[in-house]
Amino acid sequence: MSPRAAEPTSPPRGASTPPEASAAALPTRGAVAFLTPALLLIGVFLVFPALWTLYLGITDYRLTGIQAAYPQVIGLDNFTSALGDPAFANSLWVTVLYVLGSAVIGQMGLGFALAWTFRRWHGPARSALEVLVITAWIIPSSVVAFLWIAFLDTHNGTLNVALGNANIPWLFSWPLLSIIVFNTWRGTAFSMLLFGGALNTVPPSYLETARLAGASSWQQLRDIVLPSIRGHILTNLLLISLWTFNDFSPYLITAGGPNFATDTLPIYIFRNALVNFQLGYGAAISAILLLINLGIALIYLRLLRARS
Amino acid sequence: MVRDHPAPTPGPTQEPSESALLVRRFLSRIGFYVFVVIVSAFFALPMLWLVFAPFDAHPTLAATPPSSPTLANFPDLLKDPYALPSLVNSVVLAAATMVLVVAAAAPAAYALSRVRIPGRDLLLYVLLLFSSVVTGTAAMVPLFLLVFDLGLINTYIGVVLVLAGGLTPAGIFILKDFVDSMPKSYEESARVFGAGSFQILRDIVLPYARPGLAVIAVWVVVNVWSNFLIPFILLRDPGMLPAAVVVYNFYTEGGQANLRLISSFGLLYSIPVVVMYLFVNRRYGFRFYGGIKG
Amino acid sequence: MADLEIRGLTKIFPGGMRALDGLDLQIKDGEFFALLGPSGCGKTTLLRSIAGLETPNSGQILIGGRDVTRLPPAARDVAMVFQDYALYPHMTVADNIAYPLKVRRVGRKERRETAESVGRSLQIQGAMLDRRPGQLSGGQQQRVALARAIAYRPHVFLFDEPLSNLDARLRLEARTFLKQLQRELGVTTVYVTHDQAEALALADRMAVMDQGRIRQLDTPSNCFLRPANTFVAAFIGSTPMNLLPATVQDGKFEVAGQKVMIPETIRAQVSAGDTVILGVRPEYVSVSPTELPDSLTGTVRVLENLGVDSLVTIVVGDLRVQATVPEERVPAVGDRIWLAPDQRRLLAYRQDDGEQVGAPTVAQSDAPARVPSAE
């Protein structure tokens, strides 16, 4: 934007103000007052706890006992014991699988497939399916959790009944797979909506040109559409990865079991910090989780900058 | 970027024969229908239980049409001391958080829209990312300790503050888009007429950005209504728990799960948010996610 | 009611662009004053500075003798009508008009009464008062914006191209309406426009601006008949003024190899060998099919019908000269004709800076002692 005062020759509506913020737009005093409530709220209840996590991770804080009154800084002991703890390693691994399976493959894949299918399909059937997918997202997670407990029940669950009374103990034999499918079901709507919007930004003429040149649907998709919406793909990937990493809802179905097979990091933290009350240790894991999230975000930013 | 259709056999390039094209089209139609049917079944089946079981006097875990249809499950909810009161609790929490978020986000969105601070957009984006990461889980421990130290454990104030803190960045982000679209001449003319910043916010900016306010109000309500973790770790008194936690308690309590209770309560609990979404979608279209695109 | 004075006003935008360059200006109480100029000349910046929406780097603004330079817009007692009218879409017309009063915390009943009385004077009444701006036509919206400014009872009205969003026919009607209204109200008015016909029609006095400076400050009539320099000469007038390079030789102007009389008023200011630019409007060039003394001659190349007259373009030597000719005497393309400029309307400009030769210097608003910039 140039700093020239915009004086139009054929004046469009209201195009007379220079682009830099004039003091008349909002005096600084007013702006600060307007920002304060939000900054206070966010600062105290969002930023501060995040930073405090890092501090707590290096203490031996507990809720009871002497460590509650006099928490000592114990350096990186929490971190080293965490990294050496096989339970932590298990939890980390479970979480990675959970994210890869339900977010990257499940939600993104299915969401994109739906958005792509919806491109040129309109009518009541499509609307009905769309509503179904979105409803799955809107229903509160505690209810969804139970719906899936019921659905996957060994003796009476709808899935087993539909498979001819197969009596397959899904939640006990394949718990991780079960929660992966559960989370895919729950979250696909977001990706579907986001990709739907993204596909709308691809000019139809691009695809027309390709089709006239003989490209198949698959080739159009691979060569034109995917590169065009790369930014959207990355953003979506980032958001749902972060959300899934921090997702607590598997707890509602399996509580981490059976035998820690679905013990994702949030559940692991919860159990250590708020059930066993090892707050310092729990904070350390949280800090690691935060750092992993930061890492993902940084990778995403780098990839995003690489495209522009 | 555009590639020629590869020749199926070596030699001069040839168009695929008409019958090959028809077969391909037929197969893709079949594939399309198969896909749609499977996906529809995938999404519909788990939900069906919520449609059938509440109206069945003897529901099972399977989603079958009611064997003994009845509406009696709903009045029976009144007998449970926690069911309906928890819905009221959810309403209170959702409403209070919504008010707080709007009150904090609206002036902030206005200020950020009109004042050009270097790095403002980056800051906003970082905050948004932050709020996606930090809400609840990763900061479970310090949030618990913070609320504990503030003496707000087992209070609604504590829960509302924590939830509002996590939702306000998104609120600002969404609302700022709406405020950006307001012509500067509106507030400049008001300023020349003597209006102060607060008057302008109240009389001109907020009415103009009403659709945005509606979007974040619904966004907050839906989020708070469904939020399990924060009330779960911050509230102790069973009478104060919102429906999100109470539903969970119903099916994890020892003994035989009362399916009539769970199904009818679950349905009652789910309907408001579903209705709210459909209503907002019809009126404004769910555009909030547009602001988050890369 | 107040007069307006600008002293040494300078505004430099980030990036170094000088929107206003040491401007001096005095506007009388009750005057309709136009700021005219092309895009980027600084007229809107000046208007906004008077309103208080821009802060100048140096200089002073005085309204009614009061120095308002450091005061916020609210304290200056000015009302501004924007190009897009800035009518608040969610308020009714009556609420829009009364908004300045609401800001002053005037009671609801009194606000309504004022809205009705002010509206009545602008033919905004009855059901229209309860409509939303979006339901009104462009002309109606414009009147509402005016009513709102009037309801504020300011000392100065500031208009930022208020007619440019109206279509051509409506614009002319609104122009007459505006002129009459200002006469009746008697409030000092500063009016920004890029349309020279509009400025000529409306203003009591006007300032023609270019690149942050005032090139001529005068009555419309003088700007039209005696533009102070080639910039103003070229900018003003629906038909472009003829600007012809000439040399002084043997007591006459030599133009394209031909000779033209030098007017009495200029004779003393030029000497033999001077090169000037002659300026004469097509309206003041008489045309004859037969030879005229001390005139130019050439062949008709283009005819343009302007309604009552026609605009004739004649090739004289290697120059093109235009003249307006009444309908009964229009020549044909290819005819040889003679042109005689009206001696009273013939102007001469220096070739180096475009300023006028001969006539006493018309009021220039950049004072010789320019205020040094604060940056």
Distance from C-alpha of B143 to C-alpha of C370, rounded to nearest angstrom: 63
Structural domain count, chain B: 2
Mutate which: C11, C36, C39, C171, vs A, most A CBs within 10 A: C39
* 3-state DSSP assignment of residue A76: coil
pLDDT at A300 over 90: no
Distance of CA C122 to the CA centre of its chain: 25
Assess whether B170 and B237 both reside in one domain: yes
Which tens digit of pLDDT belongs to each residue from A9-23?
333 333 344 434 444
Domain with residue B101: its CATH number is 1.10.3720.10
Residue A169: CB partners within 8 Å, gap ≥ 6? A154
Assess whether B109 and B175 both reside in one domain: yes
Assess whether B194 and B98 both reside in one domain: yes
Residues of B with CB below 8 A from A48's CB? 142, 146
Q: What is the pLDDT of residue C322?
A: 93
CA distance A77 to chain B (A): 18
Q: What is the pLDDT of residue B286?
A: 52
Say if residue A248 is exposed, middle or buried (CB neighbours under 10 Å; 0-12, 13-18, 19+).
buried
Kindly list the structural domains of chain A, giving each domain's residue range(s) and its CATH number in brackets, ordered by start: 86-275+282-307 (1.10.3720.10)
Q: What is the pLDDT of residue B138?
A: 77
The tokens describing C312, both together, are 């004739």
CB contact under 8 A, A223 and B1: yes
CB contact under 8 A, C152 and B186: no
Q: Is residue B9 domain-resident? A: no
Domain locations in chain C as residue ranges: 4-231, 232-357
Chain A residue at shortest CA distance from C40: A7
Residues of B with CB below 8 A from A45's CB? 143, 146, 161-162, 164-166
pTM reported for the whole predicted model: 0.77
**ipTM, 2 dp:** 0.81
Q: Which of B29, B46, B70 is the last residue of a domain?
A: B70
Chain B residue at shortest CA distance from A53: B142
Which tens digit of pLDDT belongs to each residue from B31-77?
888 999 999 999 999 999 999 989 988 888 888 888 888 888 888 88
Residues in chain B: 294
Q: Nearest Cα to B35, choosing from A162, A188, A113, A124? A: A113
C71 reaches B (C-beta below 8 A): no
C55 reaches B (C-beta below 8 A): no
Assess whether B33 and B166 both reside in one domain: no
Distance from C-alpha of A118 to C-alpha of A129, rounded to nearest angstrom: 10
Q: Which domain holds residue B264?
A: 75-292
If you average pLDDT over residues B170-180, what whole number do you get?
Answer: 88
Q: Is residue B11 domain-resident? A: no
Chain C residue at shortest CA distance from B205: C88
When pLDDT is cut at 50, 70 and 90, the band that residue C17 belongs to is confident
The tokens describing B99, both together, are 């008010």
CA distance C8 to chain A (A): 19
Residues of C engaging A, defined by a Cβ cutoff of 8 Å: 13-17, 19, 38-45, 48, 52-55, 72-73, 82-84, 86, 160-161, 164-165, 194
Assess whether B120 and B84 both reside in one domain: yes
Task: Output the average pLDDT for chain B.
Answer: 84
A7 reaches C (C-beta below 8 A): yes
CB contact under 8 A, A20 and C14: yes
Assess whether B45 and B174 both reside in one domain: no
Assess whether B44 and B143 both reside in one domain: no
User: Which of C78, C86, C104 lies nearest to residue B183, judging by beta carbons?
Assistant: C86
CB contact under 8 A, A23 and C55: yes
Q: What is the pLDDT of residue B145?
A: 84
Domain C232-357 adopts which CATH fold? OB fold (Dihydrolipoamide Acetyltransferase, E2P) (2.40.50)
Q: What is the DSSP string of C128-155?
A: GGGS-GGGS-HHHHHHHHHHHHHHT--S
Distance from C-alpha of C144 to C-alpha of C87, rounded to nearest angstrom: 8
Assess whether B42 and B179 both reside in one domain: no
Assess whether B117 and B198 both reside in one domain: yes
Residue B84: CB partners within 8 Å, gap ≥ 6? B77, B78
Q: What chains are in contact with C, requiring at least 3 Cβ pairs below 8 Å?
A: A, B
Amino acid found at B4: D
CB contact under 8 A, B185 and C84: yes
Q: What is the pLDDT of residue A11?
A: 35
CA distance A75 to chain B (A): 18
Q: Is residue B138 domain-resident? A: yes
Residues of B with CB below 8 A from A147's CB? 46-47, 49-50, 266
Task: Output the average pLDDT for chain A.
Answer: 82
Which tens digit of pLDDT belongs to each residue from A50-89?
888 878 777 777 666 666 666 677 777 778 888 888 889 9
Assess whether B108 and B254 both reside in one domain: yes
Instruction: Classify domain C4-231 by CATH number.
Output: 3.40.50.300
Chain A residue at shortest CA distance from C74: A24
Angle (CA) B169 B173 B179, round 5°: 135
Assess whether B183 and B103 both reside in one domain: yes
Q: What is the pLDDT of residue B293?
A: 31
